[in-house]
């Protein structure tokens, strides 16, 4: 084979690779659009009247996740099944965003932390690497850390809306989350930096709870804690 033929073959391989990346990019753009729609929907909970409509917003978000599952099925067909990590960077960001959104919906519904397996099911992908297109552990953890920041914001807005018990529950949840992350030996630099931000979320929520305490509103919150969330 001549040099020209060798480089012609290489160009052919590069062209095929570029075609794959372009197809992936289109699918990721569709996922990003759906993620924006879900985020816009859920942002309504931060406004006063939004607290009264949490169940409806979560139900609508669940319907959007049906679109996500369809888009994920399409994305899976755009690259060889054994080359997940070769193209992973293309969808890493949107996948982390979708993990956060799924975790936020589950928290709003039950005030619990969604498992990685449950998120994978919501998104229509696998939890185990061996089964193909899956939810990477680091992507799951990144999404959970974004949830912590969102809940810190929700704690502040809950007080504004007159819901004094929610910040106390959020504080308990975030402290449990922080304790869980402390059990991990994080090697990934990006994930480690994201985790370092969790302490600021903990501090922010603690300030909200302290403010409720000095104003005597924590007693009112404790009395009403057995009522509707």
As annotated, the binding site for Mg(2+) includes 150
According to DSSP, the residues that pair with 126 across neighbouring strands are: 134
pLDDT at 104: 98
Catalogue the long-range contacts made by 67-72 (C-beta closer than 8 Å, 24 or more residues apart): 67/34, 68/31, 68/34, 68/35, 68/38, 68/98, 68/122, 68/123, 68/124, 69/123, 69/124, 70/124, 71/27, 71/30, 71/31, 71/34, 72/31, 72/123, 72/124, 72/125, 72/133
Spatial distance between the Cα atoms of 16 and 10, rounded to a whole number of angstroms: 10
Which residue spans of the chain are classified as CATH 1.20.58.190? 7-134
Q: What is the pTM of this model?
A: 0.89
Spatial distance between the Cα atoms of 53 and 68, rounded to a whole number of angstroms: 23
pLDDT at 180: 95
Q: What CATH fold (topology level) applies to the domain 7-134?
A: Methane Monooxygenase Hydroxylase; Chain G, domain 1 (1.20.58)
Question: pLDDT by residue (tens digit) across 151-204?
Answer: 999 999 998 888 899 999 999 999 999 999 999 988 767 888 889 889 999 999
Which residue spans of the chain are classified as CATH 1.20.58.200? 136-219
Largest CA distance in the chain: 84
Instruction: Spell out, as residue ranges, where the chain has pLDDT lower than 50.
Output: 223-229
Q: What CATH fold (topology level) applies to the domain 136-219?
A: Methane Monooxygenase Hydroxylase; Chain G, domain 1 (1.20.58)
As annotated, the binding site includes 150
Q: What is the dihedral of CA 13, 16, 20, 25, to 10 degrees?
A: 100
């Amino acid at each position: 084979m001549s040099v020209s033929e060798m480089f012609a073959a290489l160009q052919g391989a590069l062209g095929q690779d570029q075609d794959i990346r372009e197809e992936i990019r289109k699918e990721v753009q569709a996922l990003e659009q759906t993620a924006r729609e879900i985020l816009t929907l859920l942002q309504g909970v931060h406004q006063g009247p939004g607290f009264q409509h949490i169940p409806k917003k979560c139900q609508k978000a669940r319907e959007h996740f049906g679109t996500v599952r369809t888009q994920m099925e399409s994305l899976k067909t755009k690259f060889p099944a054994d080359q997940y990590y070769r193209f992973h960077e293309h969808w890493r960001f949107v996948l982390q965003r979708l993990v956060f959104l799924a975790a936020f919906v589950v928290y709003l519904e039950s005030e619990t932390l969604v498992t990685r397996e449950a998120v994978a099911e919501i998104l229509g992908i696998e939890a185990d690497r061996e089964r193909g297109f899956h939810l990477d552990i680091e992507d799951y953890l990144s999404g959970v850390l974004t949830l912590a920041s969102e809940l810190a914001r929700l704690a502040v807005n809950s007080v504004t809306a007159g819901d004094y018990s929610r910040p106390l529950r959020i504080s308990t949840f975030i402290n449990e989350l922080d304790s869980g992350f402390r059990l991990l030996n994080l090697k990934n630099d990006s994930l480690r930096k994201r985790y370092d931000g969790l302490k600021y979320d903990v501090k922010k929520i603690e300030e909200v709870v302290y403010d409720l305490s000095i104003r005597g509103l924590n007693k009112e919150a404790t009395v009403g804690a057995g009522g509707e969330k």
